[in-house]
Amino acid sequence: MTVFDVKTNLCYTSKVKSEIKICQNCKQDFTIKPEDFNFYEKMKVPPPTWCPECRRMRRFAQTNETVLYKRKCDLTGKDIFSMYPTDAPFPVYETDAWYSDQWDPYEYGMDFDEKKPFLEQFFELQSKIPRMSLVRQGMAVNSPYAHRVTDPKNSYMTFRASYPEDCLYVYNAKYTKNCSDSAWIFDSELCYECVNIENCYNLKFSQESKDCRDSSFLYACRNCSNCALCVNLVNGEYCIWNKKYTKEEYFKKLKELKLNTFSDIKKVEEEFEEFRKKFPVKAVTEVKSDKVSGNWFSNCKNVIQSFDCVGVKDGRYLFMVYDAEDCMDYYEWGNKAEQIYESVNCGINIARLYFCNQCWMGATDLYYCNTCHGARNCFGCFGLKKGEYSILNKRYSKIEYEVLKEKIIKQMKEMPFTDKRGFKYFFGENFPEMFSDFAYNETIAYYHFPLSREDALSRGYLWKDKEKKDYKPTIEPKNLPETIAEVSDSILNEVLECEMKDSPDSTGAFRITRNELNFYRKMDLPLPRACFNIRHLRRIKKRPMLKLIKRQCEKCGIDVETVYDEDYAPRLYCKKCYQQEVY
Ligand SMILES: [Zn+2]
Ligand SMILES: [Zn+2]
């Protein structure tokens, strides 16, 4: 077996065998498969020195998804909300001001210095470039608290969403309307407390369901209407606890369940979790997908070690990628993406992005770029708006660019950047951990790969203790009414104490907005007892971790790879057995 040496570029010759390497970060063995090598060869990059897990953690740690701060815009002086706190070391501009012509990213341009590691120079550039307060593409209509969104309309506290309308507290959504407190929700309307649902209408407290309406507490159901507390049900109507009733009986029974009452919802929720575990779970949750490993696929083909992918062909090590082809090590987004490698938060007609963060709207042929939208052929740039042939935010002719780019790649192979821990970052490695703009515990990495404060700091990450809201609660959770019918408009003036106020993840207290109150009234739902952060984390925790384990199909005994452990899914079926018995 050949041992790879970055300096000699051995990887450029095609490998037919797998190769075992030791991860620079966790020091564990990892295998580079022949298919991986084929991709590296096509993309002309050396293989990575970090294992897939550590690479995913590093990408996750580059992104603050849901933590917002009040601060001032450094360009207009306006009070704004931002993913960066007031003490961020670089200027932060309100999103519209950032997009405007009021500042020029080329004014920060730097000459390449061949005596200093390239990434060190990039870090110098990144420490002075103005940041976008909240990430948004397209137009925002009345949605000042939406982040990582495209064309949001009347949406509040909505994150990672394309075309959300009248949404509240929604995370990872596409074409959703009038939904609240939901995550991984697509083409749906009037939904509440739903996770991983598609094409649903008026659905509450449900998960892993598709094409369902007017129902509550569904798990892995398809095409059901007027059902409650059902699992693995297809084409069901008037069913409760998977039992069929007449229309009259159904509505009578439903009324008895009192699913509009806080304590009854809580009680039923626990019973439903026990009920769910009596049913088999499909080892890999997928719809119309072929040759996939990981979980949550819809219309995917040949997508390996990946999670939450829709319409992806030929992908490896992906998470939350949509409508993409031929990508590897990619976290989030897509919307027509091709040949994306080791990148995060990139989407909308993009191609050939290497080690990029936040590049969108036609961004192509970019290396080591951050927040460059519509840019082409750039290397190590930050904050460009439709730039071309640029390096460290300085313009070159096409020929100059090509020559200098090759020179830098050569330098990066010979003179790597070295971080605090002595890790080397040659060409082909993503940005070092210490380049992240965010405190580790502000990012999604904190949930999937928990680190202590000390560990995070020793790796070069920042750490930020959660800010407790400075307002004093006026109502304790135990004093909130059971139903929304008992709540008057005066609740809008109250400060609600979070039921998990002592948790480090809680903001301590929260308020109810007018739109939120209207939503609860329309849906006949009681007021929540916990702040958004706690509710958001609870939803994320409804899903198993992104870790594949080996188990056997309960029915036929074949080996399967799954994210569902014994505790989550005591009964597990392979795809074939599930299809034979369920759907
Ligand atoms: Zn590792
Ligand atoms: Zn089986």
Q: What does the pLDDT average to over 117-124?
A: 98
pLDDT at 480 over 60: yes
The structural domain count of the chain equals 5
Alpha-carbon span 309 to 149, nearest angstrom: 18
Q: How confident is the model at residue 198 (pLDDT cuts 50, 70, 90)?
A: very high
576, 483 in Cβ contact below 8 A? no
Tell me whether residue 218 is exposed, middle or buried, using C-beta atoms within 10 angstroms of its C-beta: 0 to 12, 13 to 18, 19 or more: buried
Cα(558) to ligand 2 centroid in Å equals: 6
Cα(128) to ligand 1 centroid in Å equals: 31
DSSP H or E stretch at residue 71 = strand 69-72
Question: Could you tell me if residue 292 is inside a domain?
Answer: no
Give the range of the structural domain holding residue 213, as residue numbers without chain letter. 143-278
Which ligand lies nearest the alpha carbon of 554?
A: 2
The residue with greater pLDDT, 8 or 151, is 151
Which ligand lies nearest the alpha carbon of 555?
A: 2
Q: Please give the single-letter amino acid code of residue 117.
A: P
Alpha-carbon span 456 to 441, nearest angstrom: 9
Alpha-carbon span 364 to 352, nearest angstrom: 6
Residues 133, 151 share a domain: no
Residues 99, 28 share a domain: no
Which ligand lies nearest the alpha carbon of 572?
A: 2
Question: Could you tell me if residue 274 is inside a domain?
Answer: yes
Predicted pLDDT at 420: 87
Question: Could you tell me if residue 338 is inside a domain?
Answer: no
Question: Could you tell me if residue 285 is inside a domain?
Answer: no
pLDDT at 15 over 80: no
Task: Name the 3-class secondary structure at 296.
Answer: strand
pLDDT digits 0-9 by tens, 454-467: 999 988 899 988 77
DSSP H or E stretch at residue 80 = strand 79-82
Q: How confident is the model at residue 36 (pLDDT cuts 50, 70, 90)?
A: very high
Which ligand lies nearest the alpha carbon of 50?
A: 1
Show the tokens assigned to 99. Answer: 């997009």
Task: Name the 3-class secondary structure at 316.
Answer: strand
Q: What does the pLDDT average to over 540-562?
A: 97
Cα(571) to ligand 2 centroid in Å equals: 11
Q: Which residues surround ligand 2, an ion (CB under 5 A)?
A: 553, 555-556, 574, 577
Residues 367, 250 share a domain: no
Question: Could you tell me if residue 225 is inside a domain?
Answer: yes
Cα(565) to ligand 2 centroid in Å equals: 16
Cα(570) to ligand 2 centroid in Å equals: 14
Show the tokens assigned to 505. Answer: 């993840």
22, 28 in Cβ contact below 8 A? yes
305, 316 in Cβ contact below 8 A? yes
Residues 166, 121 share a domain: no
Alpha-carbon span 383 to 407, nearest angstrom: 23
pLDDT digits 0-9 by tens, 152-179: 999 999 999 999 999 999 999 999 999 9
Which ligand lies nearest the alpha carbon of 280?
A: 2
201, 551 in Cβ contact below 8 A? no
Cβ atoms within 10 A of the Cβ of 23, count?
A: 17
The residue with greater pLDDT, 211 or 420, is 211
Cα(507) to ligand 1 centroid in Å equals: 33
440, 463 in Cβ contact below 8 A? yes
* Strand partners of residue 282: 573
Alpha-carbon span 414 to 470, nearest angstrom: 51
260, 483 in Cβ contact below 8 A? yes
Question: Could you tell me if residue 201 is inside a domain?
Answer: yes
Question: Could you tell me if residue 288 is inside a domain?
Answer: no
Q: Please give the single-letter amino acid code of residue 202.
A: N
Predicted pLDDT at 3: 44
Which ligand lies nearest the alpha carbon of 558?
A: 2
Residues 80, 11 share a domain: no
Which ligand lies nearest the alpha carbon of 579?
A: 2
Predicted pLDDT at 583: 83
Predicted pLDDT at 210: 97
Predicted pLDDT at 471: 78
Predicted pLDDT at 367: 98
pLDDT at 127 over 70: yes
Which ligand lies nearest the alpha carbon of 52?
A: 1
Residues 152, 235 share a domain: yes
Q: Which of 342, 300, 337, 336 is nearest to 317 (CA)?
A: 342
Residues 488, 432 share a domain: no
Cα(183) to ligand 1 centroid in Å equals: 29
Predicted pLDDT at 354: 98
Cβ atoms within 10 A of the Cβ of 280, count?
A: 21
Question: Could you tell me if residue 291 is inside a domain?
Answer: no
Which ligand lies nearest the alpha carbon of 556?
A: 2
Location of structure tokens 């390239």: 118
Residues 68, 163 share a domain: no
Alpha-carbon span 439 to 434, nearest angstrom: 10
| Last residue in a domain, options 465, 495, 516 | 465
pLDDT-above-70 percentage for the chain? 97
Cα(570) to ligand 1 centroid in Å equals: 30
Cα(572) to ligand 2 centroid in Å equals: 8
Alpha-carbon span 582 to 553, nearest angstrom: 14
Residues 6+ apart with CB under 8 A from 518: none
pLDDT digits 0-9 by tens, 234-289: 999 999 999 999 999 999 999 999 999 999 999 999 999 999 999 999 999 999 99
CB hemisphere CA count around 418 (13 angstroms): 5
pLDDT digits 0-9 by tens, 311-363: 999 999 999 999 999 999 999 999 999 999 999 999 999 999 999 999 999 99
164, 155 in Cβ contact below 8 A? yes
Residues 87, 40 share a domain: no
Cα(534) to ligand 1 centroid in Å equals: 30
Residues 151, 122 share a domain: no
Task: Name the 3-class secondary structure at 63.
Answer: coil
Residues 253, 203 share a domain: yes
Residues 56, 89 share a domain: yes
Q: How confident is the model at residue 14 (pLDDT cuts 50, 70, 90)?
A: low
Cα(367) to ligand 1 centroid in Å equals: 23
pLDDT at 10 over 70: no
Cα(353) to ligand 1 centroid in Å equals: 23
Cα(576) to ligand 2 centroid in Å equals: 6
| Last residue in a domain, options 260, 278, 296 | 278
DSSP state for residue 527 in the 8-state scheme: P
pLDDT at 17 over 90: no
| Last residue in a domain, options 233, 258, 278 | 278
Predicted pLDDT at 234: 97
Cα(50) to ligand 1 centroid in Å equals: 5
Q: Which of 218, 221, 216 is nearest to 265 (CA)?
A: 216
Cα(522) to ligand 1 centroid in Å equals: 49
Predicted pLDDT at 1: 40
